Structure 1
Amino acid sequence: MKKIFFIATFLLAITSFAQTAEDPIIIETSVKKISDTEYDVIFNAKLYKGWYLYSQHNPEDASLPLEITIKEGETGYKLVGKADEKDTFKKYSDIWEKEEIVFKDKATITQRIQLINKDITRIKLNFFGQVCETACINVDEPFTISLGGKTIKEVVSITEKSKNLTNSLKLNLKNTSLLKNVSDSGSESESGLFSIFFLGFVGGLLALLTPCVFPMIPLTVSFFTKQSENKKKGVFNAILYGCFIVFIYILLSLPFHFLDNLDPEILNTISTNVWLNIFFFAVLTFFSFSFFGFYEITLPSSWGNKMDSASSVGGIIGIFFMALTLAIVSFSCTGPILGSLLAGSLTSDGGAMQLTAGMTGFGLALALPFALFALFPNWLNSLPKSGGWLNTTKVILGFLELALAFKFLSNADLVAHWNLLKREVFIGIWIIIFIGLALYLFAKIKFPHDSPVKKLSFSRMSFGALVIAFIIYIGPGVLKEPTWNLSLLSGFPPPQFYSIYEQENDCPLGLDCYKDFDEGLAAAKEANKPILLDFTGWACVNCRKMEENVWSEPDIYQTLKDNYILISLYVDDNEKELPKDQQFDFLKKNGKIKQIKTIGDKWSTFQVINFKNASQPYYILMSPDLEILNNTQQYTDRDTYYKWLQEGLQTFKTK
């Protein structure tokens, strides 16, 4: 199936437009006559793989919505209501904490036009919107359309004033050969799959250490090695048994692939539902108290009995049903772990493939001992005996399950804007949970099925010490100015801006910044410091991610604060108009005119003219005399960004 998918994708790619990530949207127009005075103008847009175009109905305080307008100065016709949209779907934004309406792969937008003057034969419309992937680009395309259905290519020119103001934006840059992006996020998807596979594998290992599974290992391996006619067959049967265990857990993820194929974003849409997140919170809390020993969660006993009966058939089919029996009878211990894995996969961006990766890891960890002990039966003698430590493992898992449950309650709180579970409150709840775990490990509290603790074991005390260390680590997270950032927990607590404390200013992380290039350049010359030129946007999701997850790292934050002059230019700042004498027309390479009226227009054009780039976030390091210090950077990881900053600083000091 993967090969077929690859071939289909390749064929689609070579038959499509010559489109790249630098030109992520291509728009074509057509006209349909409705009556003598009404026409439908149809915009057919093709989006480059992975890019989204935001709908005109996108909510406020989110990514920029689509706008179709009549070109300024045009008369004799008018728009009839909002445009009709096809192929939209909802996608939750962690940054804006709300569902956004987007187009993916393609967009069909139909705008009805009514003629006031029946003699008009052509109309001029402007298509404005925002497309995003790991970066964002604003689209501002004018179209001159004949009512016969063809797009008219006009020979355009600009005034001397516009030429002069365009030239005033050009910088006399040095070392322009360094103006290329070195960020590479191509392995992000593979990294995500491996990460969740690893987490699933760890979950499977934990499941092995529960009372439902651990005693089954020696019994099952002994059955295969002793009941078979020869040793080789017994080993083969045990390995086959393990393979069937992996296969069964992979099968559990297949229904989600069906949902994923119906709508690639359906799992993400489901996961951002407030009530589903509350449901996950309730279920995981219910599971945690089961692990504490207050009640048992089991599947109907008849299921296990039927599978056990089927396993007596013998042969390969019998071994399959033995594996299925294990999956069913161990559910009271594996179910809560699988539930966490399911919930975690649904709330990630990887969809069904991540769930399959997690289930594969879980099944492999669960199956591995059966194969290994069949190959090396003498190892069975080294296994610890069953005892109270198995129930201790369950209780520990119960505390971890309860901590994870609050992650889903936090998701619901963020989406619904209840403002109940702010970052510091969330961390405070985790501190209480892990204090409870520490007290349990040091035998200060007990649960229903615990054996009497006469003496604390070394392993129990060691794990208790690790829990205390973890509490000390997350403790500063409740303070206004934490001693350290909780980078190891990135993605679990609410974002830093979702705080009970007031924020300092509208610059990223309260840093000193300039929002005008000339002012920032003057400051850099006076301080004799290098410049970090930050092309950003108020509606740029990945800009916020970089600021909150990368810039917030102590060493990066201190480097920015002490060693650089930060100039943040917002390319979507369209609320502030330029003075009339500074407004002009910019002639783009494709021969179309872009009207520069706002601060955002100015800085987006400034970026294109000087850096031949229109995406955000986009970072350049330069000296006050406009010498580029190293390669440019975009959305990337913390280590790459820190190294990049240090390289620029060293180059500046050397020069």
Structure 2
Amino acid sequence: MRYFLLVFGFFITTLALSAQTDADPALWSHEVKKISDTEYELVFKGKIMDGWHVYSQYTAEGGSLPSEFTFEKAGEDYELIGKASESETIKEYSDIFEVEETFFKKEAIFTQKIKLINPAIRQISVNLFYQICKEVCIPKDVLFQISLDGNAFAETKKELDERSLALGESLRVELKNKSLLNQGGLGGADGKSNLWMIFGLGFLGGLIALLTPCVFPMIPLTVSFFTKQSQQKSKGIANAVLYGFFIVLIYFLLSLPFHVFNSVDSQVLNTIATNIWLNVFFFVIFVVFAFSFFGYYELTLPSSWANKMDSASSKVGGGLGIFFMALTLAIVSFSCTGPILGGLLGSTTLADGDVATNLTVGMVGFGLALALPFALFALFPAWLNSLPKSGGWMTTVKVVLGFLELALAFKFLSNADLVGNWGIFKREIFLGIWIVLFVLMTLYLFGLFRFPHDGPKQKLSATRKMFGLFGLAFSVYLVLGIFNLIPLKLLSGFPPPDFYSVSQTESDCPLGLDCFKDFDEGVAYAKEVNKPILLDFTGWACVNCRKMEENVWSHSSIYPLLKDEYVLISLYVDDRKELPDSEKFDFQYDSGRIKTIETIGQKWGTFQTINFNAASQPYYVLLSPNLEILNDAVQYVDVETYEKWLRSGLEKHQLSMNK
């Protein structure tokens, strides 16, 4: 098990680099305008997704990289007339680079005039390198193959067979009042509050890690080392604070590779929640973590790593030596912190927002919780006397963490089951497994059975009894929920949805509502009954989708509106069920990129991207039967906001009917 982390990292890296995103943040097309027999105007257009921006060719040096065109064989077959002109740009001072940057939002248009040197040339190649940025910057290359006799896009499009062309065009719908989608922005979850929640989870994980036998005994030893080693008390305190800072820095640095994965593909980490075999792999990983906490084996990094870091800290001394001491702690404590960090990674992939950013915030919170005791006890060394002695209670902490790791493991297996439509881990099965796990945890806390690394049997402490009662109460809560005696709102989004149930036979739609899972069928029915449409872009593994359905849709002021006033169309963008052979096709984006549509999820994910310029879930749109947008789109919102949004859509639909 020694090299387990190395294998794990290699597996994630390989999957990340091989993943494909359903949507590029910028889609490119071009036009050719003939000025004379030898002069042409080339126009390059980029449609940029909301929240992203592309840098100008003329942005200031010292900042982000500018866009750059490379015209192949320019000067041989043709010459450039002047510099490429640009559409309207935005200028904004960058605090990071300390320069004024120039960039495009929503749309970028470049225009370049050329004059032929060789009149026989009918096709030229142009490469565009650019950076597109949101939380991170992604370098991109686009190759334009331009025919001077017509649009190269049209020529390439002819290479697709007629069936693919027809099915591809059927994905594009003519929406009216499309500008409403962007008014006021998306009514989504508060990104800042979400990051604070992730930070809190990381901080809590760090506090738990402090209670493990790998870390807890290190606190008094390390603090005593710093305070006694230095002749001046202030120097000892400064060294301990620096040691704590380096701990935070190390865990921050551990998150940076995930930003690299995002640079390769802005959605690559989010595939963790929807890729079947990656979810199965994470299930296995967390089971391995759990049994290491149960004491059946120990996960460690190679001992040579810790020896080298410890040796380096002794040789170099000073601030760099303290850094190597902090790195030694991170390596030595891995057998306890590794599974907790794995749980943090799992939690961030299930949370809303950018996964790499979430992970960085969570890792900083984790590192801060680990670092605080070293700084605080250096400032107030008398507090060391109040620390409890190391003992069997730390083993108990590890075992409880093991049960929590197993519970999280089955969440990933449930994701795989939902996305793969296996029909194995229905809601009752999932909750039943959790009941067994938490009952076993309760029995362990009450001392009814033991694990291999438990010490001699002792009298149960009051704290252990208290946590045992908590485990018992949570088990009873799950039992009441499995029999639908109470709603499991505390777990919204974690178990499979209510309709994914052994007993549910009437409807496979949320809350037993009537819904359509095909857009055209739903629109046809809406026209028949003359009701507005609630278009619901959702996912089987989408936690916030389940939270909306169980906490917002189920509300007494919302449910009647969905049931009686709207036609619900739910499109699952992560459904891995294959389309019939007759419905599989190749779809071509405006940029010329071709994507093969083979599954239901690929079809509806592409449908969402090309028509609504969005790629996140949940994503709700209100439409009239004749495809008129009735309101701005919303995502994860509260009951009051959602009700106002639905009623506003009804009013606009009524007004349009009365015209």
Q: Which TM bucket (shorter chain)? A: 0.5 to 0.7
Match of 2:134 in 1: none
Match of 1:46 in 2: 47
Q: Secondary structure at the match of 1:232?
A: helix
Q: Cα 1:633–1:105, aligned 2, differ >3 Å: closer, same or farther?
A: farther
Deviations 1:594-644 (A, max 9, x none): xxxxxxxxxxxxxxxxxxxxx943399xxxxxxxxxx99943433434775
In 1: Cα distance, 2:526 partner to 2:305 partner? 70
Match of 2:265 in 1: 263
Match of 2:393 in 1: 389
Cα drift, residue 510 of structure 1: 2.9
Q: Cα 1:326–1:619, aligned 2, differ >3 Å: closer, same or farther?
A: same
Q: Cα 1:219–1:510, aligned 2, differ >3 Å: closer, same or farther?
A: same
Match of 2:332 in 1: 329
Match of 1:140 in 2: 174
Match of 2:534 in 1: 536
Which amino acid is the alignment partner of residue 408 of structure 1? F
Which amino acid is the alignment partner of residue 325 of structure 1? T
In 1: Cα distance, 2:294 partner to 2:539 partner? 41
In 2: Cα distance, 1:113 partner to 1:182 partner? 38
Cα drift, residue 550 of structure 1: 3.2
1:553 to 535, 551, 561: 551
- The reply on whether 1:638 has 2:638 as its aligned counterpart is yes
Match of 1:319 in 2: 322
1:110 to 132, 144, 153: 153
**Structure 2 counterparts to residues 482-521 of structure 1, below 5 A:** 482-505=484-507, 509-511=511-513
Which amino acid is the alignment partner of residue 395 of structure 1? V
Contact 2:621 2:632 in 1 (8 A): no
- The reply on whether 1:361 has 2:365 as its aligned counterpart is yes
Match of 1:251 in 2: 253
In 2: Cα distance, 1:297 partner to 1:540 partner? 38
**Which structure 1 residue ranges, 5 or more long, are not aligned?**
1-23, 34-41, 52-85, 88-103, 116-123, 131-137, 142-165, 167-178, 522-532, 574-614, 621-630
Q: Cα 1:646–1:476, aligned 2, differ >3 Å: closer, same or farther?
A: farther
Q: Secondary structure at the match of 2:307?
A: helix
- The reply on whether 1:300 has 2:343 as its aligned counterpart is no
1:429 to 407, 417, 433: 433
Q: Cα 1:112–1:43, aligned 2, differ >3 Å: closer, same or farther?
A: farther
**Structure 2 counterparts to residues 33-72 of structure 1, below 5 A:** 46-49=47-50
Match of 1:18 in 2: none
Q: Cα 1:473–1:325, aligned 2, differ >3 Å: closer, same or farther?
A: same
In 2: Cα distance, 1:402 partner to 1:114 partner? 50
Q: Cα 1:478–1:110, aligned 2, differ >3 Å: closer, same or farther?
A: farther
In 2: Cα distance, 1:473 partner to 1:377 partner? 43
Farther off after superposition, 564-573 or 293-302: 564-573
Q: Secondary structure at the match of 1:110?
A: helix
In 2: Cα distance, 1:338 partner to 1:545 partner? 20
Cα drift, residue 254 of structure 1: 1.4
- Provide TM-score, normalisation by structure 2: 0.59
Farther off after superposition, 351-360 or 378-387: 351-360
Which amino acid is the alignment partner of residue 174 of structure 2? D
Cα drift, residue 405 of structure 1: 1.1
Cα drift, residue 467 of structure 1: 1.0
Match of 1:190 in 2: 192
2:293 to 266, 276, 291: 291
Cα drift, residue 267 of structure 1: 1.9
Contact 1:259 1:266 in 2 (8 A): yes
In 1: Cα distance, 2:556 partner to 2:222 partner? 58
Farther off after superposition, 556-565 or 494-503: 556-565
Contact 1:201 1:362 in 2 (8 A): yes
Contact 2:273 2:415 in 1 (8 A): no
Q: Cα 1:538–1:387, aligned 2, differ >3 Å: closer, same or farther?
A: closer
Cα drift, residue 189 of structure 1: 3.0
Q: Secondary structure at the match of 2:533?
A: strand
Match of 2:477 in 1: 473
In 2: Cα distance, 1:374 partner to 1:270 partner? 41
Match of 1:338 in 2: 341
Q: Secondary structure at the match of 2:470?
A: helix
Q: Cα 1:216–1:281, aligned 2, differ >3 Å: closer, same or farther?
A: same
Which amino acid is the alignment partner of residue 388 of structure 2? P
Q: Cα 1:495–1:32, aligned 2, differ >3 Å: closer, same or farther?
A: farther
Cα drift, residue 180 of structure 1: 12
Deviations 1:216-245 (A, max 9, x none): 101111111111010100000000000001
Cα drift, residue 183 of structure 1: 8.4
Which amino acid is the alignment partner of residue 291 of structure 2? F
In 2: Cα distance, 1:352 partner to 1:378 partner? 40
Contact 2:562 2:568 in 1 (8 A): no
Contact 2:219 2:374 in 1 (8 A): yes
Q: Cα 1:409–1:125, aligned 2, differ >3 Å: closer, same or farther?
A: closer
Which amino acid is the alignment partner of residue 455 of structure 2? S
Match of 2:611 in 1: none
- Provide TM-score, normalisation by structure 1: 0.60
Contact 1:198 1:358 in 2 (8 A): yes
- The reply on whether 1:399 has 2:399 as its aligned counterpart is no
Cα drift, residue 246 of structure 1: 0.7
In 1: Cα distance, 2:248 partner to 2:356 partner? 17
Which amino acid is the alignment partner of residue 46 of structure 1? K
Deviations 1:516-546 (A, max 9, x none): 789989xxxxxxxxxxx7631376669x988
Contact 1:485 1:553 in 2 (8 A): no
In 1: Cα distance, 2:238 partner to 2:167 partner? 69
Q: Cα 1:469–1:129, aligned 2, differ >3 Å: closer, same or farther?
A: farther
Q: Cα 1:550–1:430, aligned 2, differ >3 Å: closer, same or farther?
A: same
Cα drift, residue 435 of structure 1: 0.5
Which amino acid is the alignment partner of residue 419 of structure 2? V
RMSD across aligned positions (CA): 4.5
In 2: Cα distance, 1:227 partner to 1:284 partner? 41
In 2: Cα distance, 1:547 partner to 1:337 partner? 26
Match of 2:415 in 1: 411
Contact 1:182 1:633 in 2 (8 A): no
Percent of pairs with identical residues: 52
Match of 2:81 in 1: none
